[in-house]
A and B are shown apart, each in its own frame.
Chain A
Amino acid sequence: MSPKLRRTILAWLVLSPLVVTTLFPYAVMLITALKPATEVLTPSWVPSRLAWENFVEMWEATGFGRALANSLYVSFLSTVIAILVAVPFAYALDRYRFTGRGWLRHFLLVTQMLSPIVLVIGLFRLAAALGLVDSVNSVVLVYGAFNIAFTVWMLQSYFATIPRDLEEAAWLEGASRTGALLRVFLPLALPAITVTAIFSFINAWNEFVIALTMLRRQESYTLPIQIFSQVAGRYTVEWHHVMAASLAATVPVAIVFSWLQRYLVRGLGLGAVK
């Protein structure tokens, strides 16, 4: 047996309890989503037949398409905002030594300390003062702001790995500081920015409490609250639709993860530690 094969067996053995518990909810989702409506309440692991039509019905019944569009819009725009402000922020924290730098890092940590549920009333009043209630744009702004700390930390740790010599060399060749930044630094940082952006996107994609408070008409609902509204206090819950919808909302993210996993490992946490 080759050493790698032995390592493989051992590794999967160690991971198996976690793998099983992690996959369990997904199995529950998948099985319930594929059960015919009359079998949903029976706790069997094998449906009598695979009711694929649940997904089609769910799309209609839960207004999935519109919520999907809203989620895409909110996640994309809030990511753009977070990245636009976080890139210079992280660049400054990494490349400059200035008074207040330590204070700013504490400030970022403090912004993470206030959970949305604690701030809900204040946030809502803010949106009301801006005339942004029920506008998906209010959610965009808030997500953008809450994602700043996270994106700055990630970006900063990536930026630290980009050697300064390259920029300095460009200055010696007569490039302006901005020129060096645009022509040398940014192209090198682009992969890092992409990965960070995807993270910010996923955070926004999954966010629940803020969207629940800010959005009021179903036309503006994002996916998590659209699905939640199927179970919250209705006289009867169509579990097969709910599970089909949750599954459908997860699959795109899971696919992105499978591509992302090799990148994300490098960066996260470093920026916050240094």
Chain B
Amino acid sequence: MRKTLGIMAGAALGVTFAGSLAVAATVRVTVAEYSSKTGPYFEAAAAAFEAANPGTDIQIEVVPWDVLLQKLTTDISAGTNADLAIIGTRWLVDFVEEGIAAPLDEYMDDAFRSRFFEVFLSPSVMNGETYGLPIAASARAMYYNRDLLEQAGFDAPPDTWEELAKTAAAVSALGEEVYGYGLQGKEIETDVYFYYAFWAYGGDLIEADGTSGLDTEAAYAAARLYKSMIDAGSTQPGVTAYTREDVQNLFKQGRVGMMITAPFLSAQIKEEAPGLPYGVARIPAGPGGERGTYGVTDSIIMFENSQNKDLAWKFLDMIFTTEWRARFTEGEGFLPVNKEVAAMPAFAENPDLKVFTALLPEARFAPVIRGWEEIAAITVNALQAIYLGEAGVEEALDGAAAKIDRVLGK
């Protein structure tokens, strides 16, 4: 028995030593997996960097999006976080307030700064300091199926929500298996899918007094619009079972007249449904002519406790060069964040992307508030109750607003 114990202890020791042996110049990068291309892209970048800087070791840790926040939390909690990590910019304020993200301004000169479009860099600036670089950027626009709209008697995509509701009803009337408006009702960005209409009706997520805007007329009107479309059969049935990906799948099959999503759908259609006659248009306007798209960036941040900040920065510097940015942006189907990348023919002459870029001036980003994920969850719950008919519009939204105010500390 003592022998067994000895072997066990020996094995455990050996393992511990092996774990702590590391090259001096190591930079660990936690990377969110956007698609099957993400991992290989970063591995290639790491290899190129290591070749150019002998003696360095860039370790890429690819994490599925759904568990990214969990991974980061456990990592930081145990003090084993990487040197660099991709995060949703909407989480950044928590990282900054807890002193986890390091300010990057001391590394950035004007030439570096001018590589970026201001609109994408500014969400990562807090209290005058830059805490993250926009690694991925995207906006939302309306995709529509030309054939379905034509069959229903519409030559052009709707420009207001009122028209959209009419168009959707007409498309749904075309047949059993065809639906007018693809409405997302489950999982990530279900709240955002509602904000498109909410913003168009003049709403704001956070009012001037710092409270939630969900208990306003704009929110009621937008929710009523969606609910009436569900009841009229203008959307696909069972919206609360549909994630963004599910709705996109319906669109790719040509079974949905219109939906709102990000540029990457164009890239998917090109590969999976090349024959689909689709167009991309602005998100419809509300009665007051207002409209808003959702602008979203993911940031790559440097951890305050990183031991290799200079080397980590050097790696950042490389992946934000035009060459590497172009490869990433094209592979994943995001919007260019570098001006030079945007000017390249592959992006500048892409008609779909042009629509998205044109929308950027009216883009709204997630507000800089703590607890974004909890607020999103509260909103989604209220919306699902409305979509299912389990709660009235005002009742559900007022309740959600009260809960959000508590999260906001108001």
A interface list, Cβ under 8 A from B: 37-38, 41-42, 61, 81, 84-85, 88, 120-121, 124-125, 127-135, 137, 141, 212-213, 216-218, 228-230, 232-238
Contact = CB atoms under 8 A, between A and B. Distances in A.
A81 B7 CA distance: 11
Contacts of B1: 88
A131 B63 CA distance: 20
A41 B33 contact: no
Most buried by B among A37, A141, A216, A237: A216
B49 interface: no
A124 B34 CA distance: 25
A234 B77 contact: no
Nearest to B187: A233
Contacts of B262: 235
B33 A229 contact: yes
Contacts of B80: 128, 133
A84 B68 CA distance: 36
Given A37-B272, A61-B36, A235-B264, 20 more contacts: A41-B253, A81-B8, A88-B1, A120-B74, A124-B74, A127-B78, A128-B80, A129-B78, A130-B19, A132-B16, A137-B19, A213-B71, A217-B59, A232-B64, A233-B64, A234-B33, A234-B34, A235-B35, A235-B333, A236-B264
Interface in B238-253: 245, 248-249, 252-253
B64 A121 contact: no
A229 B248 contact: no
B61 interface: yes
Contact of B78 (A84, A125, A141, A228): A125
A131 B245 contact: no
Contact of A41 (B63, B68, B249): B249
A216 B71 contact: yes
Task: Classify the secondary structure of B's interface with A.
Answer: helix
Contacts of A229: 33, 62, 64
A217 B39 CA distance: 10
Contacts of B12: 141
Contact of B65 (A121, A131, A213, A232): A232
A235 B19 contact: no
B79 interface: yes
22 contacts: A41-B249, A84-B4, A121-B77, A128-B78, A129-B78, A131-B19, A132-B16, A133-B78, A137-B19, A212-B67, A213-B70, A216-B30, A216-B61, A217-B61, A218-B61, A232-B65, A233-B65, A234-B64, A235-B245, A235-B262, A236-B264, A236-B268
Contacts of B67: 212, 232-233
Interface in B295-334: 332-333
Contacts of B65: 232-234
A62 B264 CA distance: 21
Contacts of B60: 217
A204 to B, nearest CB: 17
A84 B62 CA distance: 34
A207 B235 CA distance: 39
A242 B362 CA distance: 38
Given A132-B16, A217-B59, A236 B248 contact: yes
Nearest to A239: B249
Given A232-B64, A234-B64, A234-B65, A128 B79 contact: yes
Nearest to B333: A235
Contacts of B268: 235-236
Contacts of A134: 61
Most buried by B among A37, A125, A217: A217
Contacts of A234: 33-36, 64-65
Most buried by A among B8, B19, B65: B19
A129 B268 CA distance: 44
Most buried by A among B34, B36, B61, B79: B36
Contacts of A217: 59-62
Interface in B41-86: 59-68, 70-71, 74, 77-80
B130 to A, nearest CB: 27
A238 B63 CA distance: 17
B33 A132 contact: no
Nearest to A88: B1
Nearest to B274: A38
A233 B188 contact: yes
A216 B61 CA distance: 5
B162 to A, nearest CB: 31
A45 B18 CA distance: 50
B358 interface: no
B93 to A, nearest CB: 22
